[in-house]
Structure formats: structure tokens, C-alpha cells
Amino acid sequence: MRNDVADRCRLDQAATVRLIVVGAGCRGEIYSSFGSIHPERLKVVGVADPRKFARTKLQQQHNIVDENIFEDWHTMVEREKFADAVAICTPDRLHKEPAVAFAKKGYHVLLEKPMATTAEDCTAIVEACTQSGVMLSVGHVLRYDPVIHNIKELIDAGAIGDVMHIQHLEPVGFWHFAHSFVRGNWRNEEESSFALLAKSCHDIDLIHHWAGARRCLKVTSFGSVSHFGKKDKPAGAGNRCLDCSIEADCPYSARKIYMDRVKQGNTGWPVSVICPNSFPDIESVTEALETGPYGRCVYECDNDVCSNQVVNMEFEGGLTAAFSMVAFTEEICKRKTTIYGSKGELSCDGHEVRVFDFLTQRSTKHSPLSGAPRRFMSMSGHGGADYYLMDAFVSAVANNDPSLIRSGPEETLLSHLLVFEAERSRLEGRVVYCGDLGHR
């Protein structure tokens, strides 16, 4: 099956889109790499990042002139506008200010998810982009995944009739959760955001997307921090993995997650994350594990975000949906979805879509292929979805056509507001009646 984003984005492009990157970490590097693959379509012309190693790395990858390299994005936005668009890839709590500032300066905005960490800030970003007449694309990359997008195509084509119930699972992965949400940048709500927003706003957005025009009426959610606490620490365990006597028997060992990978020559994610100021090798990884947060025992961290959470939703017309996020899984972020309709059942294992027709009692399999370059897929970990998001955003800017963007401002804002309402339900222990989210 074709990927219609790719088809629609192959339009005549009068000029190369110029992009500046604010935040040269993992996501900034992935998005900007589209320019290395398609230099005729995208040129990265500036970068802002307080870390010298990160901004220098991006500068060298894209041959950016020295005058367009900044430690502080505030200095960059004060300059006369020198690009068409900006990619905001700063930490979650630092999204709103640069997004609003660059929108007001006239830059089209590619904003990494989540939009921001409060409903008010999300709304302010959308208002700034709308009032400034610039396009906003939020990094809900899964909307661009060929397999997941096929689900929406089949629903819209009536393949299973009216949608009655959606079941959706995100298996985070046991070591991925330990890396990002126990030891890493998203472990602590005060420093980043709650887990449902940081990790699963993708998934609530997809459910909201599949529900179509039906509004969510009410939501409930339950979840907690499980297992990763001092009370769960095994007897004899040390405070750091490299000097722990029982490390060999621990599946969450930092030695296994990082050191073993770098010994095998794997220096990309997640190893690259723990060495933000140097190239990861045995020496730098050892130092990071001896002194940094990623070498800590998972039972001795300051994590407070949910390790498992469920969200139940009721939409107009009787449609119900159930979402589960679980840390303790073998698979890493390979979502599993089953959608029950009045005429059939659709299921997706992340690789292919299967539709069972109630009338014929036959199953049909759909296996959309990703045309993303292998190099891009190895970097991103989203099955080529990052590539298609960039393909759409670059074409939208080049052709002044916001319809090419699947993750635009209005619908993305609504799904973010639904995430905030779900978390409110969890914290307050009650059913939350959503009302009209668009007017919150």
C-alpha cells in the first residue's frame, strides 16, 4: 500500500527550506538528518544549544557557518530572521518560550512532543502560531508511521463499520523504562513531566485520531510507581552498578544496558545519551556510570513517574477506549492495537494490520512498507515515521500547504488536553467529565 504523505509531498519545490535547530540532542539530530539525505530540499543553517559538544557536532554534520551557532536561543531569535522554519527540541519544560518567540518572529515551527507540560502553555503555543500565521507541526511521529496510518485509512474506508471499542497497549520495555524513566531525563515529574504526557501522549493522540469527530465525554485513569523504589532493592545490592556484588543477576544493570553495547560497537541511543559532552567509548561510558545518573541502582533513584498506567475513555456515540502503558515488557514500544467495529475487527501488532470481516468471516492482512532510507530508520527507532514527519513538514513549508501536516495545532491540542484530563483523574481518583476540551 502506498504512503500518501510521501506521494503528496513529492511536489515541485521552488527553493530549499532553511531550518534552524533549537536543542541539538537526540531528537534535534534525527530531525536535522533529513537535510543530509535530501540536501536539495532542506538545509540546516543554524543551531542553538548550551552544550558545546552537541552544537559543534551538528555544526560539523551540516557545515553551518560560525555566525549561526548559538549557546542560547534567545540570542538567535533576536537576530533578523534567517531561516524558514525552526525545530524546537529542547527539554519538555522548555518548549513553550522558544516556540512562542520563534512563531512571533515568523518561523514555521516543528515542535517535539509533548507540546508543553501544562494545558495553558500548550494553548499559548497554538495561539501564537495561529495569530502569527505560521504552521505548527507537533512531533507525533506515529501519525506518519505507514502501518499505523493504514489503520486510519481502513477505519475511514469503512472496513470494520462503525468503531465501537479501541484497545491500545504501549509496551515501554523493561530496560528502556529504566533508562529514560528511572535513571534518565523523564524520571522526575518536577524536572520534566508526568509519564502519560512524556511517553504516551503519542498513544492518547492516536486514540483521539481514530475516534474521528467524536468528542471524548469522560475519562478515568489509574497508575503508580511500581517496583523501582528503595523497598524493592535486593539484599546486598550496591548504590551503583559498577560496584554492585549482585549486578550480574539484575536485568536493569547499567553495565548490561550501556557498557555491553559500547563493547559491541553500538554508540548510538541509548549509549550516546549518557555521554552528552563526548563521543561514547569505554572510557567515557565508564566515567559516566561511575559518576553520573545512569550508573545508579534503579532502586536508589529519585524517580516518581508511573511505571504502569491505564486510561479508560468514553466518546460520543458510545465509543469506548482502553489504553495501557506498561514498563515491564520484552518489546520496546511496539504498540499493539485492536479496534472492534460493527462489521469487523482490526488488529495491529506494529508490523501489519489484520482485518476480520464479520460477513465473509475472512481475514485480510495489510503490510504497508516503509520507504524511509535505512540510515534514517537506524537512527530514529520509530520505523521510519520520523522521516515521513520531516518529509511532510519540509514539503508543507516549501509549498505553503499546511494540509500536508497530519499533526497540526488544533487536533493535537485537543489530544494533549485529553492527556491532562486523564492525569487529573488519576491524581484525584475520580471520573473526569471532559466537557468541551476546545474551550478549556
C-alpha 58/C-alpha 93 separation (Å) is 23
Q: Which residues contact 141 (CB under 8 A, 6 or more apart)?
A: 202, 380, 382, 385, 386, 388, 389
Give the Cα separation of 266 and 248 in Å (integer): 21
In tens digits, what is the pLDDT along the chain, a chain of 440 residues?
445 545 545 554 568 999 999 999 999 999 999 999 999 999 999 999 999 999 999 999 999 999 999 999 999 999 999 999 999 999 999 999 999 999 999 999 999 999 999 999 999 999 999 999 999 999 999 999 999 999 999 999 999 999 999 999 999 999 999 999 999 999 999 999 999 999 999 999 999 999 999 999 999 999 999 999 999 999 999 999 999 999 999 999 999 999 999 999 999 899 999 998 899 999 999 999 999 999 999 999 999 999 999 999 999 999 999 999 999 999 999 999 999 999 999 999 988 999 999 999 999 999 987 777 777 665 656 668 999 999 999 999 999 999 999 999 999 999 999 999 999 999 999 999 997 554 44
List the one residue out of 136, 77, 78, 148 whose CA is nearest residue 108: 136
pLDDT at 39: 96
Three state DSSP letters for the chain: CCCHHHHHHCCCCCCCEEEEEECCCHHHHHHHCHHHHCCCCEEEEEEECCCHHHHHHHHHHHCCCHHHEECCHHHHHHCCCCCCEEEECCCHHHCHHHHHHHHHCCCEEEECCCCCCCHHHHHHHHHHHHHHCCCEEECCHHHHCHHHHHHHHHHHCCCCCCEEEEEEEEECCHHHHHHHHHCCCCCCCCCCCCHHHHCCHHHHHHHHHHCCCCCEEEEEEEEECCCCCHHHCCCCCCCEHHHCCCHHHCCCCHHHHHHHHHHCCCCCCCHHHHCCCCCCCHHHHHHHHHHCHHHECCCCCCCCCCCEEEEEEEEHHHCEEEEEEECCCCCCCCCEEEEEECCEEEEECCCCEEEEECCCCEEEEECCCCCCCHHHHHHHCCCCHHHHHHHHHHHHHHHCCHHHCCCCHHHHHHHHHHHHHHHHHHHHCCCEECCCHHHC
The separation between the first and the last C-alpha atoms of the chain, rounded to the nearest angstrom, is 39
Please name which of 69, 73, 79 lies closest in space to residue 96, comparing C-alpha atoms. Answer: 73
Question: C-alpha cell of 377?
Answer: 530508520
CB atoms within 10 A of CB 44: 27
Taking the C-alpha atoms of residue 219 and residue 424, their distance in angstroms, rounded to an integer, is 9
Three-state SS sequence of 145-209? CHHHHHHHHHHHCCCCCCEEEEEEEEECCHHHHHHHHHCCCCCCCCCCCCHHHHCCHHHHHHHHH
Give this prediction's pTM. 0.93
Contacts of 430 (CB under 8 A, 6+ apart): 220
Q: Pull the grid cell for residue 389.
A: 514527519
Per-residue pLDDT at 371: 76
Q: Which residues contact 436 (CB under 8 A, 6 or more apart)?
A: 215
Q: Tell me how far CA of residue 439 lies from CA of 123, 414, 417, 434, 436, in angstroms.
A: 10, 10, 10, 10, 6
User: What pLDDT was estimated at residue 1?
Assistant: 43
